[in-house]
Amino acid sequence: MISTVSIHSPRSGFMSRLLLSCWGDLAAYGEGLRRDLCALAADQVGLWLALAAVVSQLADAVTTMLALANNWPEANPISASVISRWGVSGLVVEKGVIATALVVNMARLRGRTAQVLGLLAALVGFAAVIWNLHVLG
């Protein structure tokens, strides 16, 4: 009597295959993002709008800190909850995350769409700065 024995090939488990797949996807995404950021840096208008939007976020954080120092409440509910939980350092981190997400999305969109996004972000950011200065005055 002949019996057959199945021999299992050594195969990785599900989690290790999933992690390797995700790692490869993230590596490809990172390479594409670097390429897109270089393209944004080459676009003179897009670059200046991205810088203006980042500066507006930082200026908003500074004027918010000045308003808080003068005992004025924060009008933005998201920033108010961040400040109540993590303080002023949390506000700076929040504005940094917003600025980073903005630049990444501008790099991914490219062209006029990225420029419109940067312009809108700069306008909204500087409007918040003007509001904070209005409250201080």
Confidence grade of residue 120 (pLDDT, cut at 50, 70, 90): very high
The distance in angstroms from the start CA to the end CA of the chain is 98
Report pLDDT digits (tens) over 44-97: 999 999 999 999 999 999 999 988 888 888 888 888 899 999 998 999 999 999
Total-model pTM: 0.75
Sign, CA torsion 108/51/126/45: negative
Q: Provide the token pair at 106.
A: 């501008």
Where in the chain are the domains?
34-136
pLDDT at residue 4 above 80?
no
pLDDT of amino acid 9: 58
Helix axes 44-69, 77-109, angle to 10 degrees: 170
pLDDT at residue 6 above 60?
no
